[in-house]
Structure formats: C-alpha cells, structure tokens
Amino acid sequence: MDLYVLRHAIAVERGTPGFKDDSQRPLTDKGVQKMQCVAEGMLALELSFEVILSSPFVRAKQTAEIVADVFRAKKKLEFTPHLEVGGDPKRLISFINEKHGSDSNLILVGHEPYLSNLISILIAGSDNLSITMKKGGLCKLSAAKLKYERCATLKWLLTPGQLISIR
C-alpha cells in the first residue's frame, strides 16, 4: 500500500472574526491558489489514489476537494472524523484497515501535529520522531499492511515549494 499524507493548505488564522469554531476556518485565497499548484505538481508526479480520506474540518475539506478536482476523483473523496484535530491514530488505522484495507493507494488530508505523529508511529513505532509537515506538504509511505507500530517505509517528504516546482 502506498499511503500519501497531505497537510491542509494555508488557512485563516485562529481567532479571525467570524470563525470562532476552529473546525470552520477556511483556506485563504493564497492557500487555495497554492494548493491548486501543489495538486498540479502531484499530478505531474503521476500519482493516483483509490481513496481520498479527509478531515471534515473546512480547511482540510477544501484542500481535499482541490486535489479531487485536479485528479478528477470527486467520487473517491470521503470525510472521516478519524482525521480531525486530536484524532486517534489507532482508530484511524483500524478504520483504514476495515474499510480500505484492500486499496493500494490512499491519501490522507489532515492537520498538524496529528499527521507528523501518525507518520512517526508508522515509520518508527513511536511518536518521538521530529517530523514537520508544512502546510500543503506531502509525504509518501509504503507499507504491506498498516499497523499501530513500525510498519511503513518513508519514501519521501516534499514541501509545497518542491511540489509546485515539479508541475
């Protein structure tokens, strides 16, 4: 299985008037434009996804929708609370194995520090690794089967700038 991990693009700052609930913060105009370019870079890498799993928080949802649009994959888009801020990696891994275990290419769209912790658990068996996902950054992991332990190999971790330069 190839597992791609994508952090949402640039969103409005916490505390911005009109967005008291963190889950409702949308992408900025710059975030939308940059994510469009990032998704085009992903397309230039000839990536493919059987499933696009995303946090339902607005900024992650918008990010996932941009990817789905660029890849013409809107029917592959699914939202899950297991990718929300403060989600439980064990539950996420169980959910993926139960519902998408036979899929060979998945992309997860979510938030920091949750995504870095998940990557750390999958490649090192603990959340002690210091990994930082930039907004719009993408990571590729490879695993025979997802487990809540060391089970994956880090193939690459790209910044948004690197993805944009590929397109």
- Report how far residue 143's alpha carbon sits from residue 2's, in angstroms, rounded to the nearest whole number: 7
20 pLDDT higher than 90: no
Using the predicted structure, report yes or no on whether residue 167 has a pLDDT greater than 90: no
- CB atoms closer than 10 angstroms to residue 161: 15
Question: What pLDDT, in 10s, does the model give residues 31-89?
Answer: 999 999 999 999 999 999 999 999 999 999 999 999 999 999 999 999 999 999 999 99
Sign of the Cα torsion 34, 44, 118, 121 reads negative
Mean pLDDT of 87-105: 93
Q: What is the pLDDT of residue 72?
A: 97
Count of CB atoms situated within 10 Å of the CB of 44 = 13
Q: Is the pLDDT of residue 102 over 90?
A: no
- pLDDT of 103 reads 85
User: pLDDT band at 96, cuts 50/70/90?
Assistant: very high
How many CA atoms are closer than 13 Å to the CA of 41, on its beta-carbon side? 19
Look up the CATH superfamily of 2-166.
Phosphoglycerate mutase-like (3.40.50.1240)
H helices present in 45-138, as ranges: 58-70, 89-100, 114-124
Over residues 125-159, the pLDDT tens digits come to 998 899 989 999 999 999 999 999 999 999 999 99
Dihedral sign of CA atoms 13, 17, 22, 25 in order: negative
pTM score of the predicted model: 0.96
Q: How many angstroms separate the CA atoms of 108 and 43, rounded?
A: 16
By three-state DSSP, how is residue 141 classified?
Answer: strand
pLDDT reported for residue 101: 85
**Pairing between strand 51-54 and 2-7?**
unpaired
pLDDT of residue 108: 98
